[in-house]
Amino acid sequence: FGVTGLPIDNSPAFTNQTEEGAQLWRHETFECMASFYGPAGMTFASRFRDGISVAQNNAELNALGLSMGDYTGLTPFPELINQQWVRRYDITVRLRRKVVRDYGIKSLVDAPVSFFGD
């Protein structure tokens, strides 16, 4: 199991803008790949895939500030280990989280500017 990608959300939102600061909200995605080896690899990979779809398991992710985005199908990918082909099955899971950052950017309410001319 490992994180293989962190695609960014190119549309962060600045919310809760006050005179004292603003909040930036961004949704991040983590692409994680899990590999299952051996003759029972496909069985365990499909159990993992079905298990991450259970609402109770997603509730545990929610407690950590994550949520299940989506997942790919199982990909058979035999691997040569010590001159012997071993069965391997891969699945990619996308987890999402919301990041909130506070910035102390004071708003410009009024400025000492005077306009003159015609």
Q: How confident is the model at residue 118 (pLDDT cuts 50, 70, 90)?
A: low
Kindly provide the residue ranges of all beta strands, DSSP E only, lying in the chain, ordered along the sequence: 2-5, 13-15, 22-37, 67-71, 75-76, 79-81, 84-86, 88-103
Beta bridge partners of 102: 23
Whether the full predicted model's pTM is greater than 0.75, yes or no, is no
Beta bridge partners of 27: 98
Q: How confident is the model at residue 114 (pLDDT cuts 50, 70, 90)?
A: confident
Instruction: Give 39-97 pLDDT, tens digit per residue.
Output: 999 999 999 999 998 999 899 999 999 999 899 999 998 889 899 999 999 999 999 99
Count of beta carbons in the 10 Å neighbourhood of residue 86 = 13
The residue that leads in pLDDT, 100 or 1, is: 100
Q: Which amino acid is at 7?
A: P
Domain 2-103 classification at class level = alpha beta
Select from 25, 39, 27 the least CA-distant residue to 95: 27
- Is the confidence at residue 110, as pLDDT, over 70? no
Largest Cα–Cα distance in the chain? 87
- Position 116 scores a pLDDT of 78
Mean pLDDT value across residues 6-15: 79
Domain boundaries, the chain: 2-103
